[in-house]
Amino acid sequence: MKHLIACALVLLCCASLSGCWDYRGLDEIDIVTGIAVDKDTSGVYRLTIEIVDTHGSAKEGDLGAKYVEAEGETLFNAIRNSKKRLINKLYGGNMQTLVISRQIAETEGVSVILEEMLRDGEPRETMSVVISQEETAKAILLAEGIDSKIISYEIHDMVEEDNRVTAATVNMPLYKAYNAIKGTGNSLTLPAVHCVQNDDETVVEGNGIALFEGDKLIGFLPSKNSIYYLFFKNEVKGGVISFPVSRSDDSVSLEIKDCKTNVDVSVQDGQAFVALSIDIKLNVMEIKSQLSISQASQRKALEQQTAEFLQTSIAGFFKEVQNQNKIDIFGFGRQLYQKTPDLWVAIEDDWNELFQNADIQIKVDAKIQSAGVLKDY
């Protein structure tokens, strides 16, 4: 009997342990999929919260989304104020996208918003954070999805996949974004999105990379340059390289199959050096020239040209960043800090100047893996 009572008591203790895991029926929650954060001129946060419309019938296809708008002095205030319009509690455990308007990013920075999201227990650390290039962040959430009616999920998947297929933007989950702000020598970059017309509907498109100094937006990289940025980060997993060959109106398109890059940053006598080596494997996709790639020599020549093209364009891009953005968007400082912490402490304050005058050396090893010729091989 004593044993039984003891067991019962142990179980009773468990009941009090369950704490914050309160019973929460699925029909008593509104599943938040994404939040867009805007701020109007009077300094009030305006949130647009996308929630799943579970009242529809799943049998007729995708479930749609509903939008709740809320405003408040602070972000958390605004989230809580939204409850005034709802029966159910908002549930953020499956939230996938956070859209931040460029105004907020430029004027007050994103770190407050990211921190609030991380501090809250529910939202996932892996959700995507994107910067809206439209007038408001709300415009992004109100766009139509092509694959899914829930635009937040579409943006999340788009940003994740984009990086693998087109190398047009970065994939930066919430926790990485926060680490980039707080980490020594790192700099934050976030995917930028805008709206475009597609088949009479407004849809969202990834559009390059938003660059930050600290947590404040300082500019955008156009999507054609994103791939060069990603080379420095060793994050190129796919994408297309096209360039003119021999005569100016001839061109080839190559698909990146595999790419490994290695960056080595060093500082000697007040001069920074960046050594970038790229090991890239490509498939030939499109040829508009007299090249006969069935010949080994011609293939070799094409590889050579690819390497040269990459070298010049990456060098040009690097110069552009040095001259226009004037800050280390690549996070080279982080590498220096990890490699030679003492040196980093000494040069930390002058790093941006050192970066502007840094020399770069680029080595490209391009290999054409498959020419994909059907005839004439």
Partner 1 sequence: MFSFFDKRGKRKTQEIFQEMFPHEKIEEVSESYQETLTRLKTVFRDNDPIEFRELSVGGREPMRICLIFCDGLADASLIDNFLIRPLMKIDEFELEKLTADTLLTRVLQINGAKKTKDLDEIIQNITCGDTLLLAEGVAESILFSTKNFPARAVSEPEGEKILSGPREGFTEVMMTNLAMVQRKLRSEKLKMRYYTLGKQTNTQLCIAYLEGIVDPEIVQQLYKRLDCIDIDGILDANYVNELIRDNAWSPFRSTGYTERPDVVAAKLLEGRIAVFVDGTPVVLTLPYLFIENFQSNEDYYLSFYYTTFTRGLRILGFFITILVPAIYIAIVAYHQEMLPAPLLISIANERQGVPLPAALEALIMLVVFEILRETAIRMQTNVGQALSIVGALVVGQAAVEAKLIAAPMIIIVAMSGITSLLVPKMNAPILLLRFGILLLASCLGFLGVTVGVAFLLAHVLGLKSFGVWQLSSGRKLHFQGLKDTVIRAPWRNMILRPQQLAKNVVRQKDHPEGQQ
> Residue type at 63?
L
Q: Which residue's CB is nearer to partner 1, number 10 or number 296?
A: 10
Q: Which residue's CB is nearer to partner 1, number 32 or number 280?
A: 32
Please answer whether residues 31 and 53 qualify as being in contact, where contact means their C-beta atoms are separated by less than 8 angstroms.
Answer: no
DSSP sequence for 5-16: HHHHHHHHHHHH
Least Å distance between CB 160 and partner 1?
A: 13
Least Å distance between CB 28 and partner 1?
A: 9
Least Å distance between CB 115 and partner 1?
A: 20
Whole-angstrom CA distances from 159 to 19, 176, 253 are: 36, 14, 23
Q: What's the CA gap between 65 and 52, in Å, rounded?
A: 5
266: helix, coil or strand?
A: strand
Least Å distance between CB 8 and partner 1?
A: 12
Q: Which residue's CB is nearer to partner 1, number 23 or number 249?
A: 23
Least Å distance between CB 52 and partner 1?
A: 5
Q: Which residue's CB is nearer to partner 1, number 125 or number 353?
A: 125
Q: Which residue's CB is nearer to partner 1, number 29 or number 347?
A: 29
**Which residues lie near partner 1 (CB under 8 A)?**
1-4, 7, 11, 14-15, 17-18, 21-27, 29, 31, 33, 52, 54-58, 63, 91, 93-94, 96, 122, 124, 153
Q: What's the CA gap between 129 and 263, in Å, rounded?
A: 26
Q: Which residue's CB is nearer to partner 1, number 145 or number 239?
A: 145
Nearest to 327 by CA among 305, 303, 348, 356: 356
Nearest to 55 by CA among 88, 98, 92: 88
Nearest to 102 by CA among 34, 194, 175: 194
**Rounded to 5°, angle at Cα 214 from 187 and 130:** 70
**Rounded to 5°, angle at Cα 167 from 164 and 169:** 105
Question: N- to C-terminal Cα distance for the chain?
Answer: 87
* Residue 116, number of CB atoms within 10 A of its CB: 15
Least Å distance between CB 10 and partner 1?
A: 8
Least Å distance between CB 27 and partner 1?
A: 5
Q: Which residue's CB is nearer to partner 1, number 174 or number 362?
A: 174
Q: What's the CA gap between 368 and 205, in Å, rounded?
A: 31
Q: Which residue's CB is nearer to partner 1, number 27 or number 200?
A: 27
Please answer whether residues 68 and 144 qualify as being in contact, where contact means their C-beta atoms are separated by less than 8 angstroms.
Answer: no
Least Å distance between CB 53 and partner 1?
A: 9
